[in-house]
Amino acid sequence: MPGTAAALPQILLIGNGAVAAEVRAAAKRTGLFAIGAVLVRPARVAQVQQELPGLAVIGDLSALAFRPVVAVECASHSAVQAYGPALLRQGTDLVVVSIGALTDDGLYAALHDAARDGGARLILPAGAVPGIDALNAAMAGGLDSVRYVSRKPPAAWKGTPAEQLLALDTLSEPAEFYKGTARRAAQEYPKNANVAATVALAGLGFDATEVRMIADPSVQANIHEIHAAGAFGDMHLTIRGRPLPGNPKTSSLAAYSTIRAVLNRVRPVEI
Ligand SMILES: NC(=O)c1ccc[n+]([C@@H]2O[C@H](COP(=O)([O-])OP(=O)(O)OC[C@H]3O[C@@H](n4cnc5c(N)ncnc54)[C@H](O)[C@@H]3O)[C@@H](O)[C@H]2O)c1
């Protein structure tokens, strides 16, 4: 049964975009946790405070007036860098949605060491893709190969190096324009970095995970495929996700898996 707001576990929400809006809605809907504060860029505090009456909006960690049960980053690479190590070092568990940031080995090491030293946990949700639990579990028996395929309509690749490799406006057949490591994929195609990094971190790492990217005029949606083989057998997963109303670039499942990560901290049963 939902408790009163004062008695609920309080989270710190970093960011005020499409994913954050879903997490705020889930707090209301489930009644299982409350938003203790929303951390935004300092220049935006006054404006966001007007948009979110009744919530504490802060521009810096020094203004945090409570101990969050978990902090949830749903902002950007720079936010992971700015707040992640400090929160973990002070013992606050952290959910990172901008997982592409972890392609930066230095930042990953900083977060890892801060979590170890602070006795906190760095929590990486599955985000936009399925099978991350199975992929990571399969590591226990040994994985032989992991491949992530990103298939999008040609227009969705505009503004990326694919523009130099393909005639995106006149493409009549599917064209694979990238095949290589997850590390190079995340570096050259940062907009694809979240999923490539999640698959790499759950499985064989950035250098042994193969990524392929395809511009496909026959599809309307962004399609993610994960193929893996190992001692467990083999798996082949496809997801055709719907975007969030608040941000057409973000899959709704990325928000829902963030909510799941929070719920797993506050309910008695973790699944
Ligand atoms: N893991 C995944 O599979 C996955 C999937 C989709 C999106 N994402 C990532 O999740 C994050 C959030 O996505 P979204 O759709 O909500 O984005 P969005 O653009 O709608 O919102 C991001 C918000 O964070 C704020 N922000 C950015 N940097 C900040 C900082 N340094 N300090 C405070 N606030 C800051 C922005 O002002 C904005 O309000 C993005 O980084 C996105 O790349 C991850």
Ligand 1: residues whose CB is within 6 Å?
14-20, 39-41, 74-76, 78-79, 82, 97-99, 127-128, 194-195, 198, 246-247, 250-251, 254
pLDDT value at 5 more than 80 = no
- How far is Cα 263 from Cα 270, in angstroms, rounded to an integer? 8
Which atom from ligand 1 is nearest to the alpha carbon of 129? 3
4 pLDDT band, cuts 50/70/90, is low
* Span 167-223, pLDDT tens digits: 999 999 999 999 999 999 999 999 889 999 999 999 999 999 999 999 999 998 899
Parallel, antiparallel or unpaired: strands 34-39 and 122-123: unpaired
Residues 6+ positions from 109 with CB-CB distance below 8 Å: none
CATH fold for the domain made of 132-240: Dihydrodipicolinate Reductase; domain 2 (3.30.360)
Best substitution site from 13, 16, 19 to test ligand 1's pocket, by max atoms within 8 Å of Cβ? 19
CATH number of 5-127+252-266: 3.40.50.720
Asked if 117 and 89 touch (Cβ cutoff 8 Å), the reply is: yes
Residue spans of the domains in the chain: they are 5-127+252-266, 132-240
Q: How is residue 242 annotated by DSSP?
A: P
pLDDT tens sequence across 118-161: 999 999 999 999 999 999 999 999 999 999 999 999 999 999 99
| In the block, residue with structure tokens 């190096």 | 161
